[in-house]
Amino acid sequence: MTNLDQVELSWWQRFVLWLLGKVYLGHCQKPGWSGALPFYAMKCPKHGVYIDYPHGWNNYFTCPQCQDELVQFSKSIMASAEEVTIHAKET
Ligand SMILES: [Zn+2]
């Protein structure tokens, strides 16, 4: 497994993914990592299949697209908060 962005799931992996919501793909080490981590194909209810490895102490997985949306959302909140402050100063 060299390119994680172009992983072809076998019918068996698709079946396990459908059954359990995640399927183990294999261990992979990215540049800068001290060791290899297990990679899984997961299913996001919104964006479909994505590939991730466990994060943090509680080994959580995040859909990269959901994370992007969250970042965009918090940015828009920050932007509107700034607008409010600016507006408050004007009046
Ligand atoms: Zn998602």
Give the distance between the most distant pair of CA atoms in the chain.
Answer: 64
- Give, for 23, the enclosing helix (H) or strand (E): strand 22-28
Please provide residue 84's backbone torsions phi and psi, each rounded to the nearest 5 degrees: -65, -40
Distance 71 CA to ligand 1 centre (A): 13
Give the distance from CA 69 to its chain's centroid. 11
Distance 39 CA to ligand 1 centre (A): 17
Distance 14 CA to ligand 1 centre (A): 18
Residue 27 tokens read as 């261990």
Distance 91 CA to ligand 1 centre (A): 41
Is residue 41 a contact partner of residue 51, using CB atoms and an 8 Å limit?
A: yes
pTM: 0.70
pLDDT in tens, 34-61: 999 999 999 999 999 999 999 988 999 9
Residue 3 tokens read as 């390119």
Looking at the 3D structure of the chain, how many domains does it have? 1
Question: Domain of 25?
Answer: 4-90
pLDDT in tens, 17-40: 999 999 999 999 989 999 999 999
pLDDT value, residue 88: 80
